[in-house]
């Protein structure tokens, strides 16, 4: 993969955002992200295929048939094969998988992958109903008004019951603090302009309140409602040569996995992310490495409790020890395993169908030294990065392992 590009993650917190003023629609985001990538690969003439990940444009924007918007990016993309992928919040990573499989099948040497969502088109309570489509509708009928915050509130409560609420929320607070501090280093992040001095103090003041929101999470535990798009190119070695991209400016995909859990079933254990665990370890096994070879990871922190639980699913912490692992600073940018170095879903933003591609762009930036102020040190002893993109409540999961292309 090479030539990553992110638009601004627009929503509450950005100075450009005002709910009562006109804002860009779906098409401008797709065009900006697509052209941002095309400029780095020598133009649309070098592209063989396109893939676009999106979750709910049909409801947020009254627009389906998104594959037909890839030629809108550039006239030279007319009549090239394109596909749209959907897997709830994992839609973006599914576009990456579709592109990778085309390259592996040798039907394409260069695929343009886009992930996009524009969801600030309605009030949050109505948007929550749309996003509930990532779950099983039969459960939606009896679920919380804020359906997915309710789902992960239940996970948080189960973790509190098993390991202690005060203990758990120390880790969740540190996850939030890390997210905003990292986002402040990335100009496209939704929380880039956050000026709060005492983030931990702010978190402590906002105790969960079921009468105002959900029982076991506060709003700072939640990912952002975001409008954004990301683009990246997936290339064979021949494709790299065609586009004039040296391996030092690319990342090699060395392993990946995608799993599905039965949508109609409740999680087997609310304190475990079983699908993430299976996908991540399958991807690591296919790459021939362990978690200790990773320099950084972009994980799906749709809620702070998901961040904590993912550290356990990956094996960095034993069950119940994830909150302490995070509270001790191990996932901070200077910790044992820096995670979500541009803020993740809580700090950078969560344009649902775009998140998986944004994660890949962040790993590409980090491994090739293009992350700007957000750059962390990447040791030659640990030249690997990982992305984990989750759709629904641990239902669709894509895990990808990357390595700098010239190492």
Tens of pLDDT along 163-188?
999 999 999 999 999 999 999 999 99
Looking at the chain, which residues constitute the CATH 3.40.47.10 domain(s)? 2-122+225-247, 145-224+250-404
Query: Residue 266 has what DSSP assignment?
Result: P
Query: Residue 188 has what DSSP assignment?
Result: T
Pairwise CA distance, residues 299 & 201, whole Å: 25
**Mean pLDDT throughout 231-254?**
98
Domain 2-122+225-247: which topology?
A: Peroxisomal Thiolase; Chain A, domain 1 (3.40.47)
Give the number of other Cβ atoms within 10 Å of residue 15's Cβ. 7
Pairwise CA distance, residues 52 & 258, whole Å: 17
Pairwise CA distance, residues 303 & 310, whole Å: 11
CA 184 → CA 178, 188, 278, 303, 387, distances in Å? Answer: 10, 9, 33, 19, 21
CATH number of 145-224+250-404: 3.40.47.10
What residues pair up with 339 in beta bridges, in sequence order?
A: 297
What angle (nearest 5°) sits at the alpha carbon of residue 352, between those of residues 349 and 356? 85
Q: How confident is the model at residue 68 (pLDDT cuts 50, 70, 90)?
A: very high
The model's pLDDT over 251-288, given as tens digits with 9 standing for 90+, comes to 999 999 999 999 999 999 999 999 999 999 999 999 99
Contact 385, 251 (CB under 8 A): yes
pTM, two decimal places: 0.98
Q: How confident is the model at residue 137 (pLDDT cuts 50, 70, 90)?
A: confident
Element spanning 100, H or E: helix 91-104
SS3 372: helix
């Amino acid at each position: 993969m090479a030539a990553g590009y992110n638009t601004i993650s627009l929503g509450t917190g950005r100075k450009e955002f005002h709910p009562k003023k006109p804002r860009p629609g779906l098409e401008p985001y797709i065009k900006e992200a697509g052209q941002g990538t095309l400029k780095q690969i020598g133009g649309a003439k070098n592209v063989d295929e396109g893939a676009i990940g999106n979750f709910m444009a049909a409801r947020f924007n009254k627009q389906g048939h998104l594959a037909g918007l890839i030629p809108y990016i550039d006239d030279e993309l007319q009549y090239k094969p394109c596909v749209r992928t959907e897997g709830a919040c994992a839609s973006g990573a599914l576009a990456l998988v579709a592109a990778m499989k085309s390259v592996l099948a040798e039907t394409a040497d260069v695929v343009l992958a886009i992930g996009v969502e524009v969801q600030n088109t309605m009030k949050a309570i109505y948007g929550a109903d749309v996003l509930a489509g990532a779950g099983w509708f039969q459960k939606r009928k009896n679920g919380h008004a804020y359906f997915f915050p309710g789902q992960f509130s239940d996970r948080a409560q189960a973790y509190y019951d098993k390991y202690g609420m005060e203990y758990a929320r120390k880790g969740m607070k540190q996850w939030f603090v890390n997210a905003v501090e990292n986002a402040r280093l990335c100009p496209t992040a939704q929380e880039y302009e956050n000026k709060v001095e005492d983030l931990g103090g702010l978190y402590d003041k906002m105790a969960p309140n079921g009468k105002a929101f959900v029982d076991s999470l506060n709003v700072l535990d939640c990912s952002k409602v975001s409008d954004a798009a990301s683009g990246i190119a997936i290339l064979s070695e021949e494709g790299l040569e065609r586009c004039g991209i040296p391996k030092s400016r690319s990342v090699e995909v060395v392993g990946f996995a995608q799993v599905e859990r039965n949508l109609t079933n409740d999680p087997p254990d609310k304190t475990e992310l079983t699908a993430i665990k299976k996908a991540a370890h399958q991807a690591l096994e296919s790459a021939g490495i362990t978690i200790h070879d990773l320099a950084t990871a972009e994980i799906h922190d749709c809620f702070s409790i998901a961040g904590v639980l993912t550290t356990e699913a990956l094996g960095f912490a034993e069950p119940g020890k994830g909150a302490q692992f995070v509270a001790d600073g191990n996932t901070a940018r200077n910790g044992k395993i820096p995670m979500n170095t541009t803020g993740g879903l809580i700090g950078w933003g969560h344009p649902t169908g775009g998140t998986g591609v944004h994660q890949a762009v962040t790993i590409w930036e980090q491994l090739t030294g293009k992350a700007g102020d957000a750059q962390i040190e990447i040791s030659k002893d640990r030249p690997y990065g990982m992305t984990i993109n989750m759709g629904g409540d641990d239902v669709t999961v894509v895990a990808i392992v990357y390595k700098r292309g010239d190492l």
